[in-house]
Structure 1
């Protein structure tokens, strides 16, 4: 095993699979392991280094699988453990590593432990695995504190015997008590269970919310989003002890297993604490995802992420879209200065220009893939998929829709099943079977279908394939350093030098409204869109140059 084999995660491109919507192998309208196995060659041709699979565990799907009932089994709607093991083997045969999702903040209310806690009653050892409390008020009818669920409404639910349990997310997702040794030991057993079956790492869901302040105090007005170590459940210092123990488990394997944290911690210095040498290897740089399409905003977020990660010896980890945010072609189709957030509901009422959004998305992709570190690609990005913004309300599945009182559409628009063949039922999602997909696909998906993309030399799929091939082949890309160049206002230009000292690569991204000239003596390797007749870089276009 080479050093690069052990540290593959430092410059990898990881493809996120939302398994319910990737590919349906048994013709029932729901994605599954069989469908994923059947599309592994697509991922190999695309050129990704690894896949991250969203939760595939048994679950009532109250929150898209993030309400886990059994962490060491497979949801029958997706397959079984034997199929999962076959997938891991077949992915490895193609040089693709496999990363799973682990959800450590909460269980499903269908989990055997929680059912036992409800049956056992107040004061029982079974309830100590969760966060049960008596209510406030003379009769205990008021929640124990003023915490609000991430999905809206109180974070507390009362059970028939009068006690309340904490759920920072959906009511069917009771938070576990990370002060309890059985909780810690059970999650460690889950890590080993999947590591022993050959998986290469885990993405850690809400990694910054697991530890709660003793006493569970009320949140003071104006403090809800402050993450400086003092918030009662966000980014508390106690999480780091947990991750040190997980890192030791992962490092005991050969090659060592890897972790990536989903931690929405806005301060890059605080985020870097998760990446110290004895903790997690990587964490998403969400500030890059949420940056406005403005040169200064993009550059400052890139600088902050690289600086803080470098200080702890970790690579930056870039992402533009995932299963929780509005797809970036649709976000970028709105005005860059809107400052309205990154969810569909934040921008839905703003005017949209889909062609502009796709042009910007192509440029943003080349920007991301040229940065030093790891990059994540969300399924369907390679087809240029937009957000499905008008799913009929009777088909919405995200708990946000219900918990918001039917005022927020939530995240279903980025989770719609992928189109594989424009002329087939459900655009080939079910392999030609005439099955209704679990979420409806908009008609516009026909022009984004994989077979249409494959036949078009100027398609988004061709751009991704070419970019990933160049990234893998060019010695200055992947790991290494970034040096900014002087460039016209409203643009980003930088040189890359690889870990071996090789350079010769320049990226130029025009975020302004006017064309700009190429650097002198530059040789164009790849562009996100056509140059002008004068070989200038148009607005909302990126170029990769051999310099």
Structure 2
């Protein structure tokens, strides 16, 4: 059951400056979706060599680190979230030597590296799952997963129905037959996602031991932390009873309380926290905990994970009252449990903010303002690749969609995963591939070059310049002590549509979310998403940072 030991490695060059255990409290982290970031070998899929070549660009943004989505060996049923080897590198992305080079260069540039770990499920091609299939019903091997005898629709049809009514996040039932054509093997296995992603049985202690070895492998290599996929869903309710409703388990698994947020899961993260603290500097644990703030915050108690994404914030539309309500909830959770919110507006699973906030020129303007607001909030911030370019969601042609959610449930996340435009030239990939021997794995739309990095680098009014300037000012305010790790956020709405978040001491984020201009609060404007139209007024869909001495 043990993961392989890592090769001897010094963890890369040390990061410049003092290493503190609390670096993440002020961090801006840049999320990299490797297959869509940069293609180094011209096969149309982003890879580690491509990322290595573009690391200086990420460093130029002024961010503190990178979160990389999975690049481990996988059949790619769910674009890497179906892992067949937790301690390797898929040849699609490169080699372990490439990863070692990436880690060393990132550290030399002052960038920390966070990796994804997927502990809820693995690939159906994982050796341990294949061994479980071969071992048959009642075997020790099957106890690592949820293999359960099916129910019968009648005496002539033994075990022809799944064990319960649970539904998959991707649509359809959450169970598949272990060996569909067998008359003797009548067990089914659980998969909250696709049939190619069987869920681990975390009630078996061997699973916990296995994942501790996985964490040690990457920590020993020198990675700075882990983002934990579906962190709240490891344990399922004892006995696997029917859910109150057989509706699809969508929107963070919240429609079925039996598949997530079971109390036993917290001991896993206490164990992982103890492991993270054995390293110097200690490794960061960030949870994908898609629950309401009061529940999600429990995963960041002092002996559990350091951070959990503020999903209630990510789901919001363009509504000042809703933003203020969620901000107030998150502040109450911070006050109770101590960990500041981990803010994000985009990731690889969510419709890009420029589209979500209205689309077209209106959505682009709002996304720009929202990015400025995000970077001023108390706590750490995560930016998804392309957000700093103002990329909109892409309507990927139906025949080019590869997301398993589309095939099973009619919803696609492909539109947020289209390869980045690096060059303005009207090529197949706009610089995504250094050698364009093949088209990109997802097609880029017409006009994609208008958002290109090289174009925005030459435009002082671009979203890219704005993001870089905001990140630099944010860091300066931390260095000057204007921002501190103890800052909270007091949220309110004035004049009906003016959202205000005041973080101590005396710093205010203001976001105009209505159709009319509003009076600026008193204080000195330090930064704005757009030039202020008139003294004392804030135009619609603009955001400012204000110092109030």
Global fold match (TM > 0.5): yes
Provide the residue aligned with 1:337 in structure 2: none
Provide the residue aligned with 1:78 in structure 2: 93
Q: Distance in 1 between matches of 2:278 and 2:263?
A: 25
Once the two structures are superposed, residues 154-208 of structure 1 have per-residue CA deviations (whole angstroms, 9 ceiling, x without a partner) of 1000122321100010000011111112211111000000000000111110011
Aligned CA distance change for structure 1 residues 243 and 486 (closer, same or farther; 3 Å): closer
SS in 2 for 1:274: helix
- Are 2:240 and 1:219 equivalent residues in the alignment? no
Contact 2:320 2:493 (8 Å CA) reproduced: no
Contact 2:19 2:281 (8 Å CA) reproduced: no
Contact 2:167 2:246 (8 Å CA) reproduced: no
SS in 2 for 1:472: helix
Contact 1:120 1:127 (8 Å CA) reproduced: yes
Q: Distance in 1 between matches of 2:220 and 2:353?
A: 36
SS in 2 for 1:116: helix
Over the residues paired in the alignment, what is the CA RMSD in angstroms?
2.0
Provide the residue aligned with 1:242 in structure 2: 268
- Are 2:284 and 1:258 equivalent residues in the alignment? yes
1:167 to 168, 185, 191: 191
Q: Distance in 1 between matches of 2:543 and 2:406?
A: 37
- Are 2:537 and 1:536 equivalent residues in the alignment? yes
- Are 2:162 and 1:143 equivalent residues in the alignment? yes
- Are 2:333 and 1:308 equivalent residues in the alignment? yes
1:354 to 336, 355, 360: 360
Aligned CA distance change for structure 1 residues 444 and 409 (closer, same or farther; 3 Å): farther
- Are 2:407 and 1:402 equivalent residues in the alignment? yes
Provide the residue aligned with 2:434 in structure 1: 431
Q: Distance in 2 between matches of 1:228 and 1:294?
A: 23
Aligned residue pairs, count = 517
Aligned CA distance change for structure 1 residues 110 and 530 (closer, same or farther; 3 Å): same
Q: Distance in 2 between matches of 1:483 and 1:394?
A: 47
Q: Distance in 2 between matches of 1:459 and 1:477?
A: 26
Q: Distance in 2 between matches of 1:278 and 1:526?
A: 37
1:457 to 451, 457, 460: 460
Provide the residue aligned with 2:11 in structure 1: none
SS in 1 for 2:537: coil
1:414 to 413, 416, 421: 416
Contact 1:285 1:318 (8 Å CA) reproduced: yes
2:472 to 445, 469, 484: 469
SS in 2 for 1:146: coil
Once the two structures are superposed, residues 263-309 of structure 1 have per-residue CA deviations (whole angstroms, 9 ceiling, x without a partner) of 1112x221111011110110001111112311111011111112202
SS in 1 for 2:67: strand
SS in 2 for 1:196: helix
Contact 1:371 1:478 (8 Å CA) reproduced: no
Provide the residue aligned with 1:101 in structure 2: 116
- Aligned positions of 1:115-514 closer than 5 A: 115-137=130-152, 138=155, 139-160=158-179, 161-221=185-245, 231-266=257-292, 268-333=293-358, 353-389=359-395, 391-404=396-409, 408-423=410-425, 425=427, 426-474=429-477, 475-477=481-483, 479=485, 480-484=487-491, 487-497=494-504, 503=505, 505-514=507-516
Once the two structures are superposed, residues 341-381 of structure 1 have per-residue CA deviations (whole angstroms, 9 ceiling, x without a partner) of xxxxxxxxxxxx41100111111111111110011000000
Q: Distance in 2 between matches of 1:432 and 1:533?
A: 49
Deviation at residue 483 of structure 1 after TM alignment = 4.0
Q: Distance in 2 between matches of 1:167 and 1:541?
A: 44
Q: Distance in 1 between matches of 2:275 and 2:510?
A: 42
Q: Structure 2 length normalisation: TM-score?
A: 0.90
Contact 1:370 1:478 (8 Å CA) reproduced: no
Greater shift, 409-418 or 59-68, is seen at: 409-418
Provide the residue aligned with 2:546 in structure 1: 545
Please list every run of 5 or more consecutive structure 1 residues that lacks an aligned counterpart in the other structure. 334-352, 498-502
Q: Distance in 1 between matches of 2:101 and 2:454?
A: 27
Once the two structures are superposed, residues 32-58 of structure 1 have per-residue CA deviations (whole angstroms, 9 ceiling, x without a partner) of 111111111111110110100000100
Q: Distance in 1 between matches of 2:88 and 2:406?
A: 29
Greater shift, 283-292 or 228-237, is seen at: 228-237
Q: Distance in 2 between matches of 1:222 and 1:171?
A: 18
Aligned CA distance change for structure 1 residues 312 and 72 (closer, same or farther; 3 Å): same
Deviation at residue 486 of structure 1 after TM alignment = 7.6
Greater shift, 430-439 or 411-420, is seen at: 430-439
Deviation at residue 104 of structure 1 after TM alignment = 0.4
Please list every run of 5 or more consecutive structure 2 residues that lacks an aligned counterpart in the other structure. 1-14, 180-184
SS in 2 for 1:428: coil
Contact 1:230 1:236 (8 Å CA) reproduced: no
Contact 2:324 2:492 (8 Å CA) reproduced: no
Q: Distance in 1 between matches of 2:403 and 2:443?
A: 14
Deviation at residue 489 of structure 1 after TM alignment = 2.4
SS in 2 for 1:73: coil
1:55 to 61, 66, 70: 70
